[in-house]
Chain A
């Protein structure tokens, strides 16, 4: 980059540096000032200074350290102001604490960056926060997304996204949440909360719950990136690798999940040549690490996804293994959705009668009352028995329930095909 770059090019270059550096910057600063909200503001200040100066001076050769140094200066100014303020209030204990905390840390910022990033991740997904606040704060602090980008990702107004972040920061400050790692006894639960947030972001992109688009790949990319960062920070946690494996393998199918007109294509109908072999390879490698380390529910789901990834043609799918994996998953995590998927797998593994029995047992489940996949699964199993009329009705019901336009047209297409078949076959059967 040179000083003669047009401002827009420099602006984009600054954004690129910001994207790469912001999480580390905020994490390092948060350890200094002990408040992620303040840390983020300090980092933003450094960004504003860069946006003012770099178009004139050109992007510095070491833009990351430049931002860190600039933000550190502002942090030290802030701490000194606080110190003077505290001194005035005669709060001697706090004064000493600030001095002890701040001064030696300033030079050691870069040495702790891994720990700081982890603290930042755990703080952004802290239990005092509501789920939507965790999601927004994680994307903001770890992903370096602007409020506008978060708003577009979740189809909410930008003011709503901004408010979520402001409120989340306030909640953390009000609850006195320290910028600390969870204690060993909290670790399992806190990590599972972090992984849950990352997977939620992925799923929002993978099967958009609202709107016209079937997928929003940018959100999947953000989640994958967060997952890979976690895998680097917590290399010994099996479920981190399990989640990464699951997301890499699912993301490998992103491009095959829609046809050229943007309509959804179901797994077994996808053109497998369009699956991303690189992501499959990365996913299988991550799954291997996860299984070696011990696994868990994400690892089990990744193992199921891997059965599909390894099959070059749909008929090569190892449904028996998938059904067996679902039996284990249903034992560890007997959620209605898992039980429903088990019904599908059992049906595909050659026992549609038991599959239908398992699916029927879920009809009374309250949480599945408006879940479009339940009638869709029953419809598929009924169709396997040649009960096309009833199957057709199930798909029509699924179409009524879904909030996604692409999915609705898919269910209606299936319903219409079954209606035609039942129409043709009825006289023969009679």
Chain B
């Protein structure tokens, strides 16, 4: 089963500590070598992004930054057998932030990617 993890936090004013970045790289390497991490990347601030929306019957395109306080900072795509396994990897990821970036706050959402197992195979 696939799980996408989405890290949401306030865009920081300072870059993350280098030790944290090194530890995140190491964790990513571990998860890749364990055969479970399929894809991951960081996202640039919404200030350089855009939002395309449909509301009140019309389509609008607005340049960033978006109004939300917290933004999606990065994502990862895991292939695991259970939700708990994906949660365990996300926990390890967040623990690095807890240990290596004092005062930082944020959350990682673990979301199941729909797969064929979610739809009845036989009608």
Contacts and interface: CB of A to CB of B under 8 A. Distances in A.
Nearest to A263: B122
A227 B79 CA distance: 14
B77 to A, nearest CB: 7
Interface stretch (A10-18, A86-94, A382-390, A409-417): A10-18
Contact of A229 (B33, B117, B121): B33
Nearest to A222: B81
B79 A221 contact: yes
Interface size class of A (residues with CB under 8 A): 20 to 34
Interface centre among B79, B81, B95 (most CB of A within 10 A): B81
Interface stretch (B8-16, B49-57, B83-91): B83-91
B78 to A, nearest CB: 11
Q: Is the interface of A mostly helix, strand, loop or mixed?
A: helix
Given A12-B82, A261-B122, A232 B33 contact: yes
Interface in A204-232: 217-218, 221, 224-229, 232
A20 B88 contact: yes
A15 B82 contact: yes
A19 interface: yes
Contacts of B116: 217, 254-255
A16 B84 contact: yes
A278 interface: yes
A17 B32 CA distance: 16
A13 B33 contact: no
B39 interface: yes
B6 interface: no
Contacts of B121: 258, 260, 262
A233 interface: yes
Interface in A288-309: none
Nearest to B119: A260
